[in-house]
Structure 1
Amino acid sequence: MVVCMRPKPYLIPPRPETLISLTSILQQSEPCLDAVVNIIKADVSLFTVVMSTANSPVFSGASHFKSLHQAVMRLGLKRLYTLTELILLRKSLSKVGRLDRFWDTSVEVAELAARLAPQLTTENPDRAYALGMLHDCGVPLMIESYSEYREFLNSNEGLNHSTLSLKERALFGVDHFTVGAEIAEAWQISDDICDAIRVQVDYPVALLNQHDEVSESSKALFCIVLLAKNISDSYRRYWRLDSPLSQSYELKPALEYLGLPDMDYLDIRDDYLDELEMIR
């Protein structure tokens, strides 16, 4: 049993100077592409991830980009900004070790969500990608801030998210969904993504409530990420937080919200699983 000691406050990492500089350039009436490229090149890890992500199937299709200029032109400045924001946030939240599997799975979920979004909804795939990356971003900060939190997760594998949230609040005074939403807000991520992070703890009730303050866009994005997580989980690569034993994400309410019949979803899932197996 995990015994919670006096909790130390968690500190949300500030937006780095690189992101602030990029924001300043992109807010200009005619952003300078060379200036954007120079900012990306100045951070070796950022340059590497931008290039590898731009060349992933979800962004590049059949193309392969050898120069950063080509990658930026293909991605577009708006998508590049979102990608840069996510890369830098991941870097800021990666102070604790042994989280490679967590982030690898987040990338997989994000890429699946970006592909599912235009297939099943009218939502922007970039926002679906962002939510896929950020939906559990409170976990690394909780691990960093509370020495018992990693053990807590291992001891509570398979809990539904409402129960998990209650136990987190009882032991640590806060749950990782709230922390994740606070991180997204501090980094000036769009409101619909922040709300979608919070929606997780109230699923499926949040989808049924027609009079709450959560937008339909936030709910749709959450449902898309939910399906992406299910596909990733079915591929047996998902992190401990959502093991195959977990009952936290029953799909029926999400499928009903999206107007997607069960059998149609199973066909879609099988197609994606076949693709994942082929690129393994």
Structure 2
Amino acid sequence: MILCRSLSYNRYGEFMAIKPKPYLIPSRPEILLKLATLLKSAEPDVGAVVNLLKTDVSLYTVVLSTVNSPLFSRVGRLSSLQQAVMRLGFKRLQTLITVISLKRSLSKTGRLDRFWDTSTEVAELAARLAGILSVDNPDEAYALGMVHDCGVPLMMESFSDYRRFLNALEGSDLAGLSSLERQQYGVDHFTLGAEIAAAWHMPESVCGAIKLQLHYPLELLKPSAAINDRSKALFCLVLLAKDISGQYRRFWRLNTPRESWLELKPALEYLGLPDIDYLDIRDDCLDQLERVR
């Protein structure tokens, strides 16, 4: 775990104290560090990658189940880890291992199955939308979908009453929620999520997109805004994915359907996607969810 500390200085710039923050960011597991080392090679050794993954039985199982999910599986079911690695490709594999490892590191506060099921659904939808709209990297869209709210489990771990706090605010808009979090706990889960993503060496565009959730007026998506364009596009994809997931599950506790639709307008405008076209895409995605679930 990474102990987070904040430095304090007086008005003359003199150091005064080091104040620990009330949370610990989980460290990247050893297997992820070893994988990153293997993949730095100009021509990574597939056999070495497969052997590394085989050292973690649960990770091996999750990779195989994921590669056979509707998002990744387009031909037939795979039973070989080597086939799975070849189908995914090294970049997508690294993304997948990172989000799986992060999920495991942030699942120590009791049952969070519902939370992660929804995150996985949002991730798969975001990756699919990236392909449909040809606006960005599907792997980064998938990664953001998985971790866009990863600060929530850490808030639960760090603050014993956070789960009750969140349940009491069901239906609050995102800006209102983050403001109340800062008042109550001195930090909001979006800022915390961006810190986690940065500590885990996730792409800068993903870290930036997590931060975008803090303040989401139309101005942030204008060309003049000093925000990475990839972050803007990824954020918009995940916002649409959350809307589709919410329509399907009637579960996304951070937004009511009315507020969610209002928040979609700037994202649709940024993507150049007319409302009626988006509704058609949403219906198609909902139909697919009904078929595969």
Shorter-chain TM-score range: over 0.9
Give 1:248 deviation, angstroms.
Answer: 8.4
1:95 matched to 2:108? The reply is yes
Change (3 A) 1:197 1:273: same
Matched, 1:184 2:215: no
Report the equivalent of 1:63.
Answer: 76
1:76 maps to 2:93 = no
What is the number of equivalent residue pairs in this alignment?
Answer: 274
Please tell me whether the aligned partners of residues 8 and 146 of structure 1 are also in contact (alpha carbons under 8 angstroms). Answer: no
What residue number does 1:214 align with? 227
Which of 1 and 2 has higher RCO (CA within 8 Å, sep 6+)?
A: 1
1:32 Cα deviation from its structure 2 partner: 1.3
In structure 1, the gaps of 5 or more residues are 1-6
In structure 1, how many angstroms separate the alpha carbons of the residues matched to 2:60 and 2:255?
A: 31
Deviation for aligned residue 1:63: 1.9
Alignment gaps of 5+ in structure 2 = 1-19
What SS does structure 2 have at the residue aligned with 1:202?
A: coil
Partner of residue 129, structure 1:
142
1:118 offset after TM fit, Å? 2.0
CA distance 1:248–1:91, shift in 2 (3 Å): farther
1:156-195 aligned at under 5 Å gives the runs 156-195=169-208
Matched, 1:120 2:119: no
Secondary structure (helix, strand or coil) at the match of 1:97 reads: coil
Question: What is the letter of the counterpart of residue 45 of structure 1?
Answer: S
- Matched AA of 1:171: Q
Matched-pair contact (CA < 8 Å) for 1:158–1:245: no
Q: Could you tell me how far apart the structure 2 residues matched to 1:150 and 1:244 are?
A: 22
Q: Which amino acid aligns with 1:79?
A: R
Q: Which residue of 2 aligns with 1:21?
A: 34
Amino acid corresponding to residue 251 of structure 2 in structure 1: Y
**Aligned partners of 1:261, 1:205: CA distance in 2, in Å?**
16
- Percent sequence identity over matched residues? 63
Distance 1:114 1:20 in 2: 25
The letter of the residue matching 1:241 is L
Structure-to-structure mapping, 1:217-232, within 5 angstroms? 217-232=230-245
Tell me: CA distance 1:151–1:245, structure 2 relative to 1, closer, same or farther (3 Å). farther
